Structures are given as C-alpha cells and as structure tokens.
Amino acid sequence: MSVPATTVTPPLVDELDIVIPTIRNLDFLEQWRAFFQPYHLIIVQDGDPTKTIRVPEGFDYELYNRNDINRILGPKASCISFKDSACRCFGFLVSKKKYIFTIDDDCFVAKDPSGQEINALAQHIHNLLTPSTPFFFNTLYDPYREGADFVRGYPFSLREGVTTAISHGLWLNIPDYDAPTQLVKPLERNSRYVDAVLTIPKGTLFPMCGMNLGFHRELIGPAMYFGLMGDGQPIGRYDDMWAGWCAKVICDHLGLGVKTGLPYIWHSKASNPFVNLKKEYKGIYWQEDIIPFFQNVVLPKECTTPQKCYVELSKLVKEKLSPIDPYFEKLAGEMVIWIDAWNELNPDGTDAASVKKAEVVAPKKK
C-alpha cells in the first residue's frame, strides 16, 4: 500500500520524529505505511548490534544500534539501557525535532467502532496542539474537541488552558497489564473504545505506557529518560513508568499539560507473563515507596527548564530512594549523565519557559 497521490501534507511533518525501539515484525511498518511514511523514523535497535533490522522501501529513517550509541555518547552511553526497549530514549536524545511519537513494534492500526482505521499519529498531534486543563476537571472531557466545550461552572479564567506536553494513547485488544494481572486474567482483552481525551489533573500521577506515546520534545524531552532497565539491571518494565512519574511532576511544576485517552492502537500480543514477573517483581515492591516519593516531590521555583528540574529530581532520588536499594543511587547518577548527554547533543539549550512564551497555542476557535 502506498500513500495516495492526493494526500495533503500531513501535520507537523517537518517537526516530528517517530521513535521505534526496535522492529522485529516486518509487517509493522507495512501496516502503518499510509500514516508513517511522510515522517522521519528513528529506530533504536535494543539488542545484538550484529543483527540486521530490515526496513521496507520508501521510509525515511535512521537506525542506531549499540555500537552507534557507544560511539556517539562515549562514556555517557552508560545511561542508555541495553537489551531493553528503554533504549528508545536514545532516539529522543538524537532527534532534532520539536515533537516525538514513539510506538512499539507489536502495535498495529486499530479500528474505531465505525470500522475506520485510526490514524493514531494524527490524533496525538491534535492532542499536542490543543491545550490541556490540569487545574479543574471538565466533565465533558477535552473541551477543545469538536462538539464539546467547557461546562457550566468551569472558571472562565482557566479556559485558555496550558500547553500540552504529553499525549498518552491507549490500546485495544491486549491491555497493558502487569505480570500478576496477566497471570490471573490471561484471556482478558480490551474491547471498549472510550471516545475521549482528557487532561490528567495537576498533582495526580498516572502509569505512563511507552507503547503509544506522543510528546513535546522541546518542552519535556529531557524528562523522558527511560531509566536503567534490561541487561545487568535488577528491574524491567518500569522504564516508561519511571519516565511518566518524572515527567508528570515536572509538567506539574512547569505548568504543562498531560492528556490521556485517544488514540487507540491495536496491541497484538501479550508478552510472556512469567518473564515479565521476573522483570517486575522488585519494581512492584519498590513502587510502594516510589509513588509516595513522587507524590511529595516539590521542585524549587528556580527550576524553570526541564533540564534543571530533572537534575534537581535526580538529587532527590539519590537522597530519598537510595535507602530502598543501591540501584537508585546508580539511577540518580545516570539521570545526571542523561542530562549531560542531552545538553551536549542539544547545545541550543531548550528553555521551557522561553519555548512556552514563543509558542502560541490558541484554544480552538468556535
């Protein structure tokens, strides 16, 4: 299937990179061709660098394996996970674009209830280009959507909203469950299409899944570090959770918005719950202390950029989470290295505050 000649220029085609942690499934890009082909892809190979990833004809892409990561980052490469999809954040680092969409290779095009194929990327872009409303809940969900608005009682002073930094999409078919839930409910499938996008309120944490995720790289990219997982690390499957907790507290601090809901992708296969349990069990346990930690994080006013926020957060992680396990001391160190790498590869130094001022995200005109 090729892109029809009549296609109009897709939105943000020069301002967005698609980051894919690896591609094991040859059918993956074919399925997405109509939607992804106009965009630039960054593929970060998560395992053995001697293996070859085949990319079908017609895609514009760059591919990085472990050797490339080591070559580009030198000693700072220690911050990038090996043999784990957490390596995707290397793609966030080397991108030069304003926005990122990241997706896993077992996620395919879903259909809406009318049978129409869902252009997940277009929906993420829509979410990112319309404001968020983190300070007050709107009961008719995203007020900037066609056919919706702010309901009676919504303060008028809050109706401009704030810039959206993160768009978190969902999954039909295989839900994103932890290993214990997978084991208990092996047959559960998500068939409920909830036709909504909503802002996760300020002060509320959420479990951010990296399978189907869009974000404003300039505003929140430095907080999208997927931690240390995989080969040689004591936990796995907490890479996106870690990024989500960090990114949410930093969004709250910087006055940025986080949306969740549409778009859905079709998540084709459940990962092995026994393998997952081994990866997760420490995380499940540690998380009981990590969540209260993040719920209580207060960042100093002087932290006006995501980089400054992230370095400050790394200090708090070292101080408050190291008592749980030495892993967190190591992680805190790599958080700082990640920011060093970010600043090295992004020397213009994105200043969230200045970006916010420069960028006018107008509420939908009605």
Q: Which tokens belong to 41?
A: 């892809």
Q: Which residue has the tokens 């892409």?
A: 61
Sole window of 12-20, 26-34, 199-207, 217-225 interacting with its own copies (rule: CB under 8 A): 199-207
Name residues contacting its own copies, limited to 51-70 (CB under 8 A). none
**Would you count residue 252 as binding its own copies (CB under 8 A)?**
no
Shortest reach from residue 240's CB to its own copies, in Å = 8
- 113 is an interface residue for its own copies by CB under 8 A: yes
Q: How far is CA 161 from CA 11, 293, 327, in A?
A: 22, 28, 38
- Report, in Å, the least distance between residue 178 CB and its own copies: 4
Per-position x/- string for 331-360, each x denoting binding to its own copies as judged by CB under 8 A, each - no binding: ------------------------------
DSSP annotation of 190 reads B
Instruction: Please report whether residue 116 would count as binding its own copies according to CB under 8 A.
Output: no
CB atoms within 10 A of CB 206: 15
Instruction: Say if residue 56 is preceded by a cis peptide, omega within 30 of 0.
Output: no
Q: What residues from 158 to 177 belong to the interface with its own copies (CB under 8 A)?
A: 158, 168, 170, 175-177
Task: Kindly write out the interface string for residues 208-247 of this chain, putting x where it contacts its own copies by CB under 8 A and - elsewhere.
Answer: xx---------------------------xx-xx--x---
DSSP assignment of 324-360:
T-HHHHHHHHHHHHHHHHHHHH-TT---HHHHHHH--
What's 132-179 look like in SS3? ECCCCCCCCCCCCCCCCCCCCCCCHHHCCCECEEEEEEEEEECCCCCH
- Chosen residue from 13, 183, 194, 275 binding its own copies by CB under 8 A: 194
- Residue 147 binds to its own copies (criterion: CB under 8 A): yes
**Residue 312, interface with its own copies (CB under 8 A)?**
no
Burial of 79 (0-12, 13-18, 19+ CB in 10 A): buried
How many chain residues are in contact with its own copies, going by CB under 8 A?
60
Q: Is residue 296 within the footprint of its own copies (CB under 8 A)?
A: no
Q: What is the chain's alpha carbon radius of gyration, rounded to the nearest angstrom?
A: 20
**SS3 call for 295:** helix
The residue (of 38 and 175) whose beta carbon lies closer to its own copies is: 175
Amino acid letter at 287? Q
Q: How far is the CB of 250 from its own copies (least distance, A)?
A: 17
Q: Label residue 284 exposed, middle or buried (CB < 10 Å: 0-12, 13-18, 19+).
A: middle
148 touches its own copies (CB under 8 A): yes
Binding site for its own copies (CB under 8 A): 113, 136-141, 147-158, 168, 170, 175-178, 180-181, 184-185, 188-196, 198, 200-209, 237-238, 240-241, 244, 260, 284, 287-288, 291, 366
